[in-house]
Every structure is written in structure tokens, then in C-alpha cells.
Amino acid sequence: MNQKGLLTAWNDAKGFGFITPEDGGERVFAHIRSYAGRGRPVSDRKVTYSITKDNQGRPRAGRFQYAGAAKVGASIASGVWVAAAVVLVFFSTLVGLFHKGYLPVSILAAYGGVSLVLFVMYWIDKRAAQRGGQRTAEKTLHLFELCCGWPGALMAQQVFRHKTRKGSYQFVFWLSVLANLVALGWLLVAPEASSLRQQLNFDLLNSLRPLIW
């Protein structure tokens, strides 16, 4: 990305805009899929970019990202900190329950392991989206989110700025989070899950009875 310019006329709703070259000349079309930085592009920011051509031979930005101070300011979006806080609180809670013997290590390991796998899957899918490669099916991502991977998905969405603006995807994502937490709560305290808890060698409900009664 050896070209420099100013991102102008950016339409965030449609995901495209134009870059005015620093040395003058015709504006260059830029699409959100070619954006290689953090957050979302904003008009009137200095960028660096590479030049490629579309199917009709017209110049367009192959990849672009903020340059200079704008790049530093966009390096860590606020959403990353929020996601990190949510994930930290959740895993701290799991570790606390495990430390007190209220939670088996297998559940803690499941959340950590599947989250790591899903974080990598998001990265691969983001790269595929930028390069026009084969994408990971959304139902596959949602399945991993439901099966204890939602903390990793939440972090990946903010770190890679992937799937964050698609309303239908976010709706199913948060349904998966809710369903997973309800299932975890059921496993921990529901009387109907006592036999399963015994198989996993823990029983939070029995541990809490002295406090309740």
C-alpha cells in the first residue's frame, strides 16, 4: 500500500466511498471489503492504499487503511474494550465457580477451547470476505457460538469488525448467547439436571442449600 490519499464521500450505510490521491488525479473507488484497518472508515481521513482494477478496467483501491495519527486513533475500537470486559467477567465467574468446586473443569475448558477455535474461524472468514474466497456458513458460526464459543465470537466480531453491522446475524448471535447461558444455568441448578451433574462430579445446588435454607 504505497499510495497516499484522503478518504472522501464515504457512505457507511452502503459500504463504499472514494479516495482522492495525495498527488492529485482521479478519485479511486474504495469498498468496505478492502478496508484493512480497525473500526469503520470515516470521511476526511488520510489513508494508504494499493491500486487494482475492476472487471471494466477502472482503478479501485485493492486494500486501504488509515495512515498516521488516524491509524493510531482507530487501532483499538471502543467495542473491543466492552467485549473484553464482558468476556473477562464471564470467565472470572467460571473460574470462581471452579475454584469453589461448583463447576467441573470440563465446562471451563469447553468455553475456553471452543472460543479459541471460533475466534480463529472468524479471522479466516474475515480474510475470505476481503479476498472474495470461500466463506464459512453463518449457521456453522452460530452452532459454535451456541456450543460455548460465544465469548470468542464476541471478541472476534469487535477485533476484526466482522458481522457487527448485519442485524439478522446479530439477532441470531444474541439468541445463541442467551440459549447457551440458559442451558448453563439449567445444568448448574435445575433439579432435573442432578443426574448429569453427578456424572460430571459436581453439584452446585447441593452446595448452595446450606446458604438457602
Q: Are 157 and 124 in contact (CB under 8 A)?
A: no
Span 125-154, mean pLDDT?
93
Span 167-180, mean pLDDT?
96
Q: What is the pLDDT of residue 209?
A: 46
For residue 10, the tally of other CB atoms under 10 A from its CB is: 19
Q: What is the pLDDT of residue 39?
A: 67
Residue 46: burial class (beta carbons within 10 Å; 0-12, 13-18, 19+): middle
Span 12-29, mean pLDDT?
86
Q: What is the pLDDT of residue 65?
A: 86
Instruction: Walk me through the domains of the chain, giving residue ranges and CATH numbers.
Output: 3-73 (2.40.50.140), 78-212 (no CATH)
Q: What is the pLDDT of residue 77?
A: 62
Q: Rounded to whole angstroms, how far apart are CA atoms 150 and 143? A: 10
Predicted TM-score (pTM) of this structure: 0.66
- Mean pLDDT check: name the lowest of 89-93, 103-107, 148-152, 193-197: 193-197
Q: What is the pLDDT of residue 58?
A: 82
Kindly tell me if the per-residue pLDDT of 207 is higher than 90: no
Q: What is the pLDDT of residue 212?
A: 37
Q: Rounded to whole angstroms, how far apart are CA atoms 159 and 16? A: 21
Residue 27: burial class (beta carbons within 10 Å; 0-12, 13-18, 19+): middle
Q: What is the pLDDT of residue 29?
A: 92
Q: What is the pLDDT of residue 210?
A: 39
Residue, of 43 and 170, whose pLDDT is higher: 170
Q: What is the pLDDT of residue 122?
A: 96
Q: Rounded to whole angstroms, how far apart are CA atoms 161 and 75? A: 12
Kindly tell me if the per-residue pLDDT of 79 is higher than 90: no
Q: What is the pLDDT of residue 191?
A: 85
Q: Rounded to whole angstroms, how far apart are CA atoms 72 and 49? A: 16
User: Residue 3 forms beta bridges with which residues?
Assistant: 49
DSSP per-residue string spanning the chain: --EEEEEEEEETTTTEEEEEETT-SS-EEEEGGGB-SSS---SSEEEEEEEEE-TTS-EEEEEEEE-THHHHHTSS-HHHHHHHHHHHHHHHHHHHHHHTTSS-HHHHHHHHHHHHHHHHHHHHHHHHHHHT-PPPPHHHHHHHIIIIIHHHHHHHHHHTT-SSS-HHHHHHHHHHHHHHHHHHHHHHH-GGGHHHHHHTT--HHHHHHHHH-
Residue, of 33 and 86, whose pLDDT is higher: 86
Kindly tell me if the per-residue pLDDT of 140 is higher than 50: yes
